Amino acid sequence: MATLEIKNLHVEIEDEERKTKREILKGVNLVMKTGEIHAIMGPNGTGKSTLSQTIMGQKNYHVTQGDILLNDESILDMPVDQRARKGLFLAMQYPAEIPGVTNAEFLRSAINARRSEDNQISVMDFLKELDKNLEILDMSQSMTERYLNEGFSGGEKKRNEILQLLMIKPNFALLDEIDSGLDIDALKVVSKGVNSMRGSDFGALIITHYQRLLNYIKPDVVHVMMGGRIVKTGAADLAVKLENEGYAGLRDELGLDINLVDED
Amino acid sequence: MTPDKLVQIATENNEPRWFIEKRIRALKIMSELELPKMQRFDYHTWSMTPETTKISIMDHDHSENYVLLDIFEAARRYPELMQKYYMNKVIKSNENKLTAYHTAFLNQGLFLFIPKNTVVDKPIEINLQQDSNIFNSHILIVAEENTQVSFIQKSTTEVEQQSSANCIVEIVAKANSIVKYAAVDELGSNVTSYLSRRAFVDQNAYVDWSIGLMNSGNTVADFDTDLYGEGSHSEIKVVDITTGKQQEGVNTRVTNYGKHSIGNINQRGVIMDRSKLIFNGIGHIIHGASGANAEQQNRVLMMSNHAHGDANPILLIDENDVLAGHAASVGQVDQKQLYYLMSRGIDKKTAQRLVIRGFLGDVLTSIPSKKIREQLIQTIERKLADGQKLSENS
């Protein structure tokens, strides 16, 4: 069993144009284990994406206090590729496009990056695994010969993120708004992919605005984030309650003094 | 060197009288001539004209379809063809200091002649090995009417001392011929080189250039195509990587003389570490070349803050009824792309190489031969890996 622990995490982001720093995360605490699916919900601008990018190691986010522990080892000093090889995966909201590198070639490189020189995946094993996962995600084989994300539609990009998840098989996946821009059919397919990963070796942290996604991927734990902190943690029914009452309702119930970005 | 000494060396090499006289004439005018012009690139302090004392004879395959000979043997056996074409029609020996130097001090070369109506099925592969400290090599290709040939040239350095190279390629592509010339240049870091390649393209002929400029030493390159014939066509693809403290200036030029002639230049350069690379793309459309088409793309990618690079499109158009266009860019590696690849566990160096390969991609995919494409990709990977090592140690 693997664990991912966020301890009193404070994160600043630098605004390059204005040369100012702004604190986004103001003391986040979270513990998750493989075998569990956690969801983080919260209004816009509350730091959900900052949390996922910071865990992954994006350089623009500066940790000023606190720690991130993977299996009791701090990963703060590790570069992003090392964190990935240690078992973290971030399905991104806006994946980069890489022309000239085929999807298949990239997937093999990513899988082999986790393996030793003398234990690289064979072409047969790779193709078998690829075919299986393409079928789960209802993707055509031609997608794998296209250049990585180049010219992919929004929905294709999301599916491709999940294809990578299925091929790489990380211990912990951070899924950053994988439901945005998806129609209901695509949402079902993407959820099917994530659900196929469920098991004792896999944990996921799902970031979403809407409860809708959680109808398809049932979380074990739901966290609500507001103003750079987790303000409430509960079971799956917390998401339903939020859907009905809105974030402002919860804020007022908790007596928090937080200005919601989208609130007039 | 005195003319007498040069006569002695050439005579010992059994060169015909006309060939020796051509050397001597070139030697005499050399000092009066200027170096070839290279915009935004200064190389006048480079040592590029040392004197030859050793001549090498080249091995080659034989064929019944065509003539492939060591250039000195060709001068003896085919004096008429050689006098007509060698440093006389495509590139002239008195053009500049380096062409005159080349003619005077030539020390190895090949002559390829494809007779009329001949299709050469298999590519002709030639390895040019620099085995002495001076390397003045020449390749002359004459493709007669209605011929097809594909030529693959590699060049490597086998010596370790500081040295120089002056390598010239001349192609005569007569009416309705198709000549594909691929080059993978890998001269060593100890070599200062001048590369000049030029094609004369006649009516409805096609010349395809696929050049992987992977030298490790300072290099000046002139890649020229003269589209003389009506409906003549050339595609010029150049992929270039500079590493360490290397300096390179590349002029890639197409001149449209013929009506409806088409010339496309597509160049990509990757500049690592403290190296410098200047790409000049020159498109010249001569008055009267109506319906001509000249397009060019020059792009360089800087891999370090100390790298220096430029991509200059230069269009000279003296005719109204033409299509011409250019695109140029100087960019840095996209950090978002790197982050994305690394977030999947791919280490930084591999991620960089993948991004670079993507940048070179559309030139690589346009190379017609799969074999050359794959060889070039391997060479690129090697050069990038070497370049990354150099950066680490500096």
Residue of B nearest to A52 (CA): B343
Q: Which residues pair with B234 in a beta bridge?
A: B207, B263
Distance between B359 CA and the closest CA of chain A, angstroms = 7
Asked if B346's CB is within 8 angstroms of A147's CB, the reply is: no
Candidate from B354, B362, B364 with C-beta closest to A98: B354
pLDDT at B34 > cutoff 80: yes
Nearest to B165 by CA among B78, B124, B107: B107
pLDDT at B115: 97
* Measured distance CA(A114)–CA(A81) in Å, rounded: 10
Asked if B362's CB is within 8 angstroms of A98's CB, the reply is: no
Using a 10 angstrom Cβ sphere, with 0-12 exposed, 13-18 middle and 19 or more buried, the burial of residue A125 is exposed
For the stretch B322-335, pLDDT in tens is: 999 999 999 988 89
Asked if A80's CB is within 8 angstroms of B342's CB, the reply is: yes
Alpha-helical runs (H) found in B35-162? 71-77, 79-85, 97-105
A197 contact partners, CB below 8 Å, separation of at least 6? A165, A166, A169, A173, A204
Q: Does B340 touch chain A (CB under 8 A)?
A: yes
Candidate from B345, B357, B365 with C-beta closest to A110: B345
Domain that holds residue A225: 3-95+170-254
Token digits for B370? 């799969």
Nearest to A179 by CA among A163, A153, A159, A205: A159
- The DSSP string of A26-57 is EEEEEEEETT-EEEEE--TTSSHHHHHHHHHT
Asked if A84's CB is within 8 angstroms of B343's CB, the reply is: yes
Asked if the structure places residue A110 within a domain, the reply is no
Q: In chain A, which residues have their Cβ closer than 8 Å to the Cβ of B360?
A: 100
* Measured distance CA(A189)–CA(A178) in Å, rounded: 11
Distance between B213 CA and the closest CA of chain A, angstroms = 19
Contact B317, B328 (CB under 8 A): no
Structural element, H or E, at residue A84: helix A80-85
Best of A56, A98, A162, A176 to substitute, by most chain B Cβ atoms within 10 angstroms, is: A98
Distance between B341 CA and the closest CA of chain A, angstroms = 8
pLDDT at A262: 62
Using a 10 angstrom Cβ sphere, with 0-12 exposed, 13-18 middle and 19 or more buried, the burial of residue B267 is buried
Contact B230, B258 (CB under 8 A): yes
Asked if A109's CB is within 8 angstroms of B350's CB, the reply is: yes
Amino acid, res. B367: I
Amino acid, res. A264: D
Asked if the structure places residue A152 within a domain, the reply is no
pLDDT at B147 > cutoff 50: yes
Contact B184, B213 (CB under 8 A): no
Distance between A5 CA and the closest CA of chain B, angstroms = 19
Asked if the structure places residue A122 within a domain, the reply is no
Residue of B nearest to A95 (CA): B340
What average pLDDT does range B360-381 have in this prediction? 84
Token digits for B166? 């002056």
Q: Which residues pair with B150 in a beta bridge?
A: B180
How many CA atoms within 13 Å lie on the side-chain side of A149? 22
**C-alpha to C-alpha distances, B51 to B129, B166, B196, nearest whole angstrom:** 18, 12, 19
Which parts of chain A register pLDDT below 70? 261-264
Residues of chain B above pLDDT 70, percent: 100
Candidate from A85, A99, A106 with C-beta closest to B361: A99
Q: Does B339 touch chain A (CB under 8 A)?
A: yes
Token digits for B178? 């198709």
Token digits for B228? 């003389």
For the stretch B156-176, pLDDT in tens is: 999 999 999 999 999 999 999
Candidate from B334, B346, B365 with C-beta closest to A113: B346
Token digits for A218? 């049932």
From start to end of chain A, where are the E strands? 3-15, 20-33, 37-41, 61-70, 73-74, 88-91, 98-102, 147-148, 172-176, 203-208, 221-226, 229-234
Distance between A255 CA and the closest CA of chain B, angstroms = 39
Candidate from B336, B348, B360 with C-beta closest to A81: B348
Residue B221 per-residue DSSP state: E
Residue of B nearest to A96 (CA): B337
Q: In chain A, which residues have their Cβ closer than 8 Å to the Cβ of B336?
A: 96
CATH of the domain at A184: 3.40.50.300
Token digits for B322? 């033409």
Residue of B nearest to A108 (CA): B346
B317 contact partners, CB below 8 Å, separation of at least 6? B283, B284, B285, B294, B324
User: For chain A, what's the residue count?
Assistant: 264
Q: Which residues pair with B269 in a beta bridge?
A: B240, B300
Q: Does B337 touch chain A (CB under 8 A)?
A: yes
For the stretch B271-319, pLDDT in tens is: 999 999 999 999 999 999 999 999 999 999 999 889 999 999 999 999 9
Q: Does B331 touch chain A (CB under 8 A)?
A: no
Asked if B340's CB is within 8 angstroms of A98's CB, the reply is: yes
Best of B339, B353, B374 to substitute, by most chain A Cβ atoms within 10 angstroms, is: B339
Distance between A164 CA and the closest CA of chain B, angstroms = 8
- Residue whose structure tokens are 């390969």: B357
pLDDT at B51: 87
- Comparing A39 with B376, the larger pLDDT belongs to A39
* Measured distance CA(A249)–CA(B128) in Å, rounded: 78
Using a 10 angstrom Cβ sphere, with 0-12 exposed, 13-18 middle and 19 or more buried, the burial of residue B81 is middle
Best of A56, A80, A114, A116 to substitute, by most chain B Cβ atoms within 10 angstroms, is: A80
Contacts A–B by Cβ distance under 8 A: 78
SS3 B260: coil
* Measured distance CA(A72)–CA(A86) in Å, rounded: 12
pLDDT at B213: 96
Nearest to B38 by CA among B214, B245, B183, B253: B253
Contact B302, B330 (CB under 8 A): yes
Q: In chain A, which residues have their Cβ closer than 8 Å to the Cβ of B353?
A: none
Contact B375, B381 (CB under 8 A): no
Asked if B336's CB is within 8 angstroms of A96's CB, the reply is: yes
Question: How many structural domains comprise chain A?
Answer: 1
* Measured distance CA(A71)–CA(A79) in Å, rounded: 17
Mean pLDDT of chain B: 94
Asked if B357's CB is within 8 angstroms of A147's CB, the reply is: no
Nearest to A66 by CA among A125, A7, A152, A19: A7
Residue A202 per-residue DSSP state: B
Residue of A nearest to B364 (CA): A100
pLDDT at B394: 63
Q: In chain A, which residues have their Cβ closer than 8 Å to the Cβ of B355?
A: 98
pLDDT at B165: 96
pLDDT at B99: 98
Asked if B346's CB is within 8 angstroms of A81's CB, the reply is: yes
* Measured distance CA(B336)–CA(A97) in Å, rounded: 9
Candidate from A100, A113, A168 with C-beta closest to B359: A100
Amino acid, res. B334: D
pLDDT at A264: 47
Residues 95-154, chain A, touching B (beta carbon < 8 A): 95-101, 106, 109-110, 113-114, 147
Residue of A nearest to B337 (CA): A96
For the stretch B104-129, pLDDT in tens is: 999 999 999 999 999 999 999 999 99
Token digits for A136? 């789960």
For the stretch B72-105, pLDDT in tens is: 999 999 999 999 999 999 999 999 999 999 999 9
Candidate from B344, B355, B362 with C-beta closest to A84: B344
